[in-house]
Amino acid sequence: MIYREFGNTSFKTSTIGMGTYYDMRWIFKTYLGIYSGKDQKIDAYRAGIDNGINLIDTAELYRTEKLVGTAIKSYKRDELFIATKVFPTHLSPKSLEKALNRSLKNLDTDYIDLYQIHFPNPAVDLKKTMRTMEKMIDTGKMRHIGVSNFTLNLLKRAQGILSKYEITSIQINYNVFHRNSQKAMIDYCNKNHIAVMAYFPLGHGKVTQPQFNKYFDHVRKTIGDVPNANIALAYLISRNQNVFPIPRASNRAHVLQNAKNSDILLNEDDIKYLEKNL
Percent of the chain with pLDDT over 70: 100
Phi/psi at 109 (nearest 5 deg)? -140, 160
Quick one: pLDDT at residue 217? 97
pLDDT band at 237 (very low <50, low <70, confident <90, very high): very high
Q: Read off the pLDDT of each residue in 252-278 and give the average, rounded to a whole number.
A: 96
From the number of C-beta atoms within 10 Å of its C-beta (0-12, 13-18, 19+), residue 184 rates as exposed
Rounded to whole angstroms, the Cα distance separating 128 from 92 reads: 7
Torsion of CA 225, 242, 197, 233, to 10 degrees: -10
Q: What CATH superfamily classification does 3-277 receive?
A: NADP-dependent oxidoreductase domain (3.20.20.100)
Q: How confident is the model at residue 49 (pLDDT cuts 50, 70, 90)?
A: very high
Q: What pLDDT is stored for residue 70 in this prediction?
A: 98
pTM for the model: 0.95
For residue 18, list its beta bridge partners. 56
Confidence tier at 48 by pLDDT (50, 70, 90): very high
Residues 6+ apart with CB under 8 A from 150: 117, 120, 158, 170
Of the pLDDT bands very low, low, confident and very high (cuts 50, 70, 90), residue 260 is very high
Which residues lie below 8 Å from residue 249, measured CB to CB, with a gap of 6+?
18, 19, 20, 41, 44, 45, 48, 56, 255
Q: Which DSSP string do the residues of 67-136 spell out, in sequence order? A: HHHHHHTTS-GGG-EEEEEE-GGG-SHHHHHHHHHHHHHHHT-S-EEEEEESS--TTS-HHHHHHHHHHH
pLDDT for residue 50:
98
User: β-strand 195-199 against 243-245: which pairing, if any?
Assistant: parallel
Q: Express each pLDDT in 73-90 by its tens digit.
A: 999 999 999 999 999 999
- Asked whether 228 and 216 are in contact (CB, 8 A), the reply is yes
Task: Give the mean pLDDT of the chain.
Answer: 96
- Chain segment 132-148, per-residue pLDDT in tens: 999 999 999 999 999 99
Q: What is the pLDDT of residues 191-216, one digit of tens each?
A: 999 999 999 999 989 999 999 999 99
Instruction: Give mean pLDDT, residues 45-61.
Output: 98
**Predicted pLDDT at 30:** 94
Q: Looking at residues 122-127, what average pLDDT do you find?
A: 96
d(CA 82, CA 115): 9
224-241 mean pLDDT = 96
Would you say 9 and 15 are in contact if contact means Cβ atoms under 8 Å apart?
A: no
Distance CA 73, CA 42 (A): 11
